[in-house]
Amino acid sequence: MALSKRVVLDTSAYSHFRLGHKALHEELNRASEILLPVVVLGELHAGFRGGRHFLDNAAVLDRLLEEPFVTVVDTGRESAERYGEVFAQLKKSGTPIPTNDVWIAAVSLATGARLLSFDGDFKHVVGLSWTHFSA
């Protein structure tokens, strides 16, 4: 099977990755590069700090980020332009989604990578290449 090239993980996908979700792991094994938007890192660190295992969770994330096939993606100009497009499209269609999810979709669109998520809200984003997993 051909490599999927690049995929973006949202926060829900990272959490299920950690839980060993089989279909997600299979998809990640076919990818050549895993992109983590900086917004996802922020959400993860917020969640870690709200739990009892901050140091352990942060260490596991740091090990993943050290892998050569994992890239953290900042929200630069291209992502900002896509954010504006996605935000306007969602507002016009009356289907708003959380702000961080708009940024995650924008990064996916800007990088041309397929988003992997357990969050159904992304179905409202026109033109987004994504895979919706079930828990």
Give the mean pLDDT of the chain: 94
Task: Enter the tokens of residue 48.
Answer: 């870690």
CB atoms within 10 A of CB 96: 13
Would you say 74 and 38 are in contact if contact means Cβ atoms under 8 Å apart? yes
For 95, phi and psi rounded to 5 degrees? Answer: -125, 65
Q: What is the reported pLDDT for 51?
A: 87
| Residue 1 predicted with pLDDT over 70 | no
Give strand pairing partners of 115: 8, 130
d(CA 52, CA 80): 34
Task: Enter the tokens of residue 57.
Answer: 């969770």
Q: What is the reported pLDDT for 4?
A: 56
Number of helices (H), then strands (E), belonging to the chain: the values are: 6, 5
pLDDT band at residue 68 using 50, 70 and 90 as cut-offs: very high
CA 106 to chain CA centroid, nearest Å? 10
- pLDDT tens string 16-48: 999 999 999 999 999 999 999 999 999 999 999
Average pLDDT over residues 98-113: 97
Question: What is the separation, in whole angstroms, between the first and last Cα of the chain?
Answer: 24
- pTM for the model stands at 0.93
d(CA 24, CA 39): 20
Domains of the chain: 33-129 (3.40.50.1010)
Task: Enter the tokens of residue 114.
Answer: 């397929």
pLDDT band at residue 3 using 50, 70 and 90 as cut-offs: low
d(CA 97, CA 105): 10
The letter for the amino acid at 51 is: G
